[in-house]
Chains A and B, each alone.
Chain A
């Protein structure tokens, strides 16, 4: 069974440039998450989707970040414009039983460097 697929794996951009990350969750998983992980820290939730509905986006900096999950499958996370502090690993995760079980399946992440 294929795992959570993310792209690109690495991205280097100048500040003020836009960037987008893509995530394909495990087939059949209706819950999708975007997390941000700074170096030496644990992941922090940015947004959680149940199917195509964003049910928790309280931690998403909405002035520059946006996300969408069309048709309840793939998802895209966009940053525009990027700032130096956005350098981090952006992790996508999915689950089938809901987050209550804590069993999330993570992708390998997209490492963003903003210069």
Chain B
């Protein structure tokens, strides 16, 4: 069964304390991996697309990387405004193509 698992479920950091979020997947026919940010009471907001192992994308304090089995979202010197839930999603071929989301990591950055 196709599965996307994110860890940890929740992470609390001090401002400036760098860390990484993990997204592991067991899917067939992976076509791409995507990261989204979701603020409370809002819809997810697109961050990155990764298509192949070894690929990296950066945006401000965030960097996403991809291997054959997992992706990492590295956050460097985070600020309180980086607090949000970060969602990972994969696009797969399963008869019809579909986008499958993980359950998210709730990140809190304390000032």
A contacts, CB < 8 Å to B: 4, 40-45, 48, 55-56, 58, 91, 93, 99-109
- Per DSSP, chain B at the interface is strand
Could you write out 9 A-B pairs with CB less than 8 Å apart? A42-B102, A91-B44, A93-B43, A99-B97, A100-B32, A102-B33, A102-B34, A104-B44, A106-B44
Interface size on B, residues (CB 8 A): 24
- The listed residue (A100, A104, A105, A108) touching B97 by CB distance below 8 A is A100
In angstroms, Cα B49 to Cα A91, docked, is: 21
Count of chain A to chain B residue pairs whose CB atoms are closer than 8 Å in the complex = 63
Chain A residues whose C-beta falls within 8 Å of the C-beta of B99 in the assembled complex = 45, 99, 102, 104
B49 touches A44 (CB 8 A): no
Q: Is the CB of B59 closer than 8 A to any CB of chain A?
A: no
B contacts, CB < 8 Å to A: 4, 31-34, 41-46, 49, 87, 89, 91, 95-99, 101-104
B41 touches A42 (CB 8 A): no
